[in-house]
Structure 1
Amino acid sequence: MELNSLSAISPIDGRYRNTTSALAAYFSEYALIKYRVFIEVEYFIALCDHPLPQLRDFDKNATEKLRDIYKNFSEADAADIKNIEKTTNHDVKAVEYFLKKQFDSLGLQDYKEFIHFGLTSQDINNTAIPYSFKLAVNEVYLPEINGLVDLLKNFAREWDAVPMLAHTHGQPASPTRLGKEISVFVERLENQLALLKAVPYSAKFGGATGNFNAHHVAYPEIEWKAFGNHFINDILGLHRSQFTTQIEHYDNFAAQCDALKRINNILIDLDRDMWTYISMNFFKQKIKAGEIGSSAMPHKVNPIDFENSEGNLGIANALFEHLAAKLPISRLQRDLTDSTVLRNIGVPVAHTLIAIRSTVKGLNKLLLNEAAINASLEANWAVVAEAIQTILRREAYPNPYEALKDLTRTNMQVNAQTIAGFVDALDVSDAVKNEIKAITPQNYTGI
């Protein structure tokens, strides 16, 4: 079958292709090859700028022609590299041979042996992948999650004064405000996003076992550690790990996966709360003409967006957890288990992107049902018992907690009249009675 949205094995490239297509520029096979080419070209230019003795006469006017190789990199170029790989059976070596052909066509054949000079494949992979991952986070993920946070902030402001019955352990609890409950998620998301942004995008660059062996033996007079730090930190904008094996140790990448997983857990919590509020009729949902809620029950409008989001977040988190647990572990100076795993970095990001957009879609369907919210408050006057017994404690009234417990647990229905009758019988001043009578489920919402 020809690969298309109907024949794709993964829904990422099938059903949800329109949602995830932006990630192809960072996580596809084409993207991986392109960023490998980018690293190789920039490394060669850095060697010329150093300069190595054999590269001192390199015409700097050719620099932009070299950069055009990756700036104008096409699918045909990627296919050319894949064809070379059929012979080499080595993906990074295929990139090197492709670049040598490009050097030949540009009349730079005298310099082509300095392509990939002194490097191992992981010097390319462990820079290309964090570089593309950083771009994907900054250019795709953060705008999407920040858009969701901004939407929540708008709801928090809009619903700031809306009193709502809270539920702890699934039971009616002291009233809160709907806007404040939304602000809980805003604060949690912003805090975890700050932690995500604080983790460096680490890269490995130092030859076959991390010691610049080949570089040093060829040019012992050059400070290769300083060169590597400048190339990775200043030119690429990454963070060079100083002591590595053949591969990056991935500890910071694991931290990023854990940070993304924590953010996703918060979104799962949000999805479930919104789903529950809808089930309690606190929210209704906007209906789009022609849409079907249930194939059997015509009346239903299901909260499918929050359910879709929760499911995709679960898949994403399972993969983030595996990436974080597996990648920092490698036998001795390296084994190959990280290679195939690294190719899946885009998968949990894609499921996360699908989830974020589903949550946003669900939030935008919400219609506040203040009548139902107020009715739930009116039906639960017992929740003001906390307020009453606390004021009575202040007044040194004997056994106030026990008195309110007896009231709220022995009466079949506690309402405004029940509370008023209880207060009238209290041996306290009229001022305190009036203070207590002024408390309602609607105004007992704290600060």
Structure 2
Amino acid sequence: MSHEHYDNPLVSRYASKAMSALWSPQVRHATWRKLWVALAEAEHELGLPVSQSQIDELKSRLEDIDFAAAARYEKELRHDVMAHVHAWGDQCPSARPIIHLGATSCYVTDNADLILMRQGMEMLRDKLVATIDRLSKFAVEYKDLPCLGYTHLQPAQPTTVGKRATLWCYDLVLDLEDLEHRIENLRFRGAKGTTGTQATFLTLFNGDHAKVEELDRRVAEKMGFAQRCAVTGQTYTRKLDVQILDVLDGIAQSAHKTGTDLRILQSNKEIEEPFEKQQIGSSAMAYKRNPMRSERMCSLARFVSSVTASIGQTVATQWMERTLDDSAVRRLSIPQAFLATDAILILYRNVVDGLVVYPKVITQRLAAELPFMATEEILMEGVRAGGDRQDLHERVRIHSHEAARQVKEHGLPNDLIERLKGDAAFAKVDLGAALDARRFVGRAPEQVEQFVSEIITSIRQRYQSTLGLAAEELKV
């Protein structure tokens, strides 16, 4: 590894080796060659002067890419696709005349991007499913543990730790649905010609429209695509890039929300992300246990969102049949969006696998607020015991405000229940029973069970083969 040039941290620190390899020059240009072979095969099958021996020669050097030769050609020609055509032609002299026959550069560049993005989405899907599976198991484990709910980040009606985890998990489930949809319905650019009119192919086939259409269909089929773009310019519509990256952005948004929640909960000492024995939280404050995994997850999520925005701008600025100002931004944005999302899901899985829950702290924080939340229940019990609703309401209001003043101004414990016990109007109310937190969580435990039964079970059934995959190692 060279330490004299910039090194992309998405590769060296965050993303998996598999995702990094997917976007490597070797895989990309080998994919170009596979596309050229598919085109040559289809042309041969449909009667063009492309021989089987030429195709066999191309296949024999499919993975053997001379990058040095391609670089020399590109320096001279200033055209990356033609540089690789010439470099491969040097390796396959008899096939040289038919490489790229009838095609435009976007035949290989665009179709390869679609192939790589599909493979990338499949890799992300497997990580997403594993994270959903682990998070749902955490939800079941803690479905009955009451905790303080929050709205506006202020104490609110209690929920359970497990029910809150289903909120995180359901966001990922919706992301999975989007991801599955994009994988299933991804369209291939195909063999559409220089400006999408297939004019060159029509000339090659002597005006036979049926053969031109069949060529397009066969190439797509050979590359594993059931659907093709109905029409294209020189490129496929960049709207496809936006649709795909929007799904990645959705995963990032979900992870950011969970990461933020966990950072707040760790600050409250209720739940902590994994913290290793020798891990250092701060170079100055040795006692610190910072939520660095969740923080990194949020940071990478913001990066994905910023990348997605640039792709949307690219769609808006593609003039007529295409402009080349899409090239540089797509070379940067698309691979990095996949690498960053991959890194996010590695972090998410790592965090969920090692979450530490502190029930006593959770119970203590809930107990400090529960008397206020129990007042409506207490009020109803007082009415059942024969009290006047309006009188009881006023007494609860006065006692609550005084208890809150003691907490806020003097830092004293919440003594609302003690105050109510001293009020004869509540003598017939079982105030102890009113503070049972389980009475205030509604159907939270049952909702967790229903969520797993109705939603998660079907996901597990569809992806049984991927659930046993080991988690990726967290690099840093």
Identify the TM-score tier after normalising by the shorter chain.
Answer: 0.7 to 0.9
Of 214, 218, 226, which residue of structure 1 is paired with 2:204? Answer: 218
Note if contact 1:388-1:436 (Cα within 8 Å) is conserved in structure 2: no
Q: Say whether residues 1:242 and 2:230 are aligned partners.
A: yes
Note if contact 1:258-1:321 (Cα within 8 Å) is conserved in structure 2: no
Q: 1:211: how far off?
A: 0.9
Q: Say whether residues 1:202 and 2:198 are aligned partners.
A: no
The worse-fitting range, judged by mean Cα deviation, of 197-206 and 253-262 is: 197-206
Structure 2 residue aligned with 1:349: 338
Structure 2 residue aligned with 1:369: 358
Q: Cα gap change, 1:182/1:5 in structure 2, threshold over 3 Å: closer, same or farther?
A: farther
Distance 2:273 2:322 in 1: 53
Note if contact 1:36-1:128 (Cα within 8 Å) is conserved in structure 2: yes
Q: Secondary structure at the match of 2:74?
A: helix
Note if contact 1:174-1:386 (Cα within 8 Å) is conserved in structure 2: no
Distance 1:42 1:180 in 2: 51
Q: Cα gap change, 1:53/1:124 in structure 2, threshold over 3 Å: closer, same or farther?
A: closer
Q: Secondary structure at the match of 1:217?
A: helix
What percent identity do the matched residue pairs reach? 20
Note if contact 2:44-2:52 (Cα within 8 Å) is conserved in structure 1: no
Q: Secondary structure at the match of 2:155?
A: strand
Q: Say whether residues 1:98 and 2:87 are aligned partners.
A: yes
Of 32, 48, 59, which residue of structure 1 is paired with 2:52? Answer: 59
Structure 1 residue aligned with 2:140: 157
Cα root mean square deviation, aligned:
3.0
Distance 1:357 1:351 in 2: 10
Note if contact 1:313-1:351 (Cα within 8 Å) is conserved in structure 2: yes
Q: 1:154: how far off?
A: 1.7
Q: Say whether residues 1:12 and 2:5 are aligned partners.
A: no
After superposition, the C-alpha distances for 1:198-252 in whole angstroms (9 at most, x for unaligned) are 1233332311110101111231124213431342256432632111111111212
Q: 1:286: how far off?
A: 5.0
Q: 1:183: how far off?
A: 0.7
- The higher relative CO (CA closer than 8 Å, separation ≥ 6) is in 2
Structure 2 residue aligned with 1:33: 29
Note if contact 1:8-1:14 (Cα within 8 Å) is conserved in structure 2: no
Structure 1 residue aligned with 2:115: 131
User: 5 Å matches for 1:275-424?
Assistant: 275-284=263-272, 287-327=275-315, 329-344=317-332, 345-380=334-369, 381-388=371-378, 398=389, 404-412=396-404, 413-418=414-419
Distance 1:6 1:90 in 2: 28
Distance 1:234 1:390 in 2: 71
Note if contact 1:285-1:301 (Cα within 8 Å) is conserved in structure 2: no
Q: 1:419: how far off?
A: 5.2
Q: Secondary structure at the match of 1:293?
A: coil
Distance 2:338 2:163 in 1: 29
Q: Secondary structure at the match of 2:439?
A: coil
Distance 2:165 2:236 in 1: 40
Moved over 6 A (4+): 390-397, 400-403
Q: 1:415: how far off?
A: 4.3
Gaps of 5+ in 1: none
Q: Cα gap change, 1:416/1:303 in structure 2, threshold over 3 Å: closer, same or farther?
A: same
Note if contact 2:273-2:294 (Cα within 8 Å) is conserved in structure 1: no
Note if contact 1:284-1:366 (Cα within 8 Å) is conserved in structure 2: yes
Q: Cα gap change, 1:437/1:124 in structure 2, threshold over 3 Å: closer, same or farther?
A: same
Q: Secondary structure at the match of 2:66?
A: helix
Gaps of 5+ in 2: 405-413, 444-476
Q: Cα gap change, 1:284/1:10 in structure 2, threshold over 3 Å: closer, same or farther?
A: closer
What code does the residue aligned with 2:208 have?
Answer: E
Q: Secondary structure at the match of 1:351?
A: helix
What code does the residue aligned with 2:100 have?
Answer: H
Distance 1:386 1:187 in 2: 31
Q: 1:397: how far off?
A: 7.2
Note if contact 1:285-1:367 (Cα within 8 Å) is conserved in structure 2: yes
Q: 1:271: how far off?
A: 0.3
Structure 1 residue aligned with 2:129: 146
Q: Say whether residues 1:425 and 2:425 are aligned partners.
A: yes
What TM-score do you get using the length of structure 2 for normalisation?
0.80
Q: 1:403: how far off?
A: 6.5
After superposition, the C-alpha distances for 1:69-106 in whole angstroms (9 at most, x for unaligned) are 33xx14x52333223222222111122223333432xx
Distance 1:360 1:31 in 2: 27
Q: 1:306: how far off?
A: 0.8
After superposition, the C-alpha distances for 1:239-268 in whole angstroms (9 at most, x for unaligned) are 321111111112122011112112211100
What code does the residue aligned with 1:188 have?
Answer: D
What code does the residue aligned with 2:102 have?
Answer: G
Q: Cα gap change, 1:92/1:238 in structure 2, threshold over 3 Å: closer, same or farther?
A: farther
Of 144, 151, 163, which residue of structure 2 is paired with 1:168? Answer: 151
Distance 2:278 2:341 in 1: 28
Distance 2:393 2:325 in 1: 62
User: 5 Å matches for 1:183-202?
Assistant: 183-199=166-182, 200-202=185-187
Q: 1:308: how far off?
A: 1.3
Distance 2:30 2:431 in 1: 71
The worse-fitting range, judged by mean Cα deviation, of 303-312 and 26-35 is: 26-35
Q: Say whether residues 1:116 and 2:88 are aligned partners.
A: no
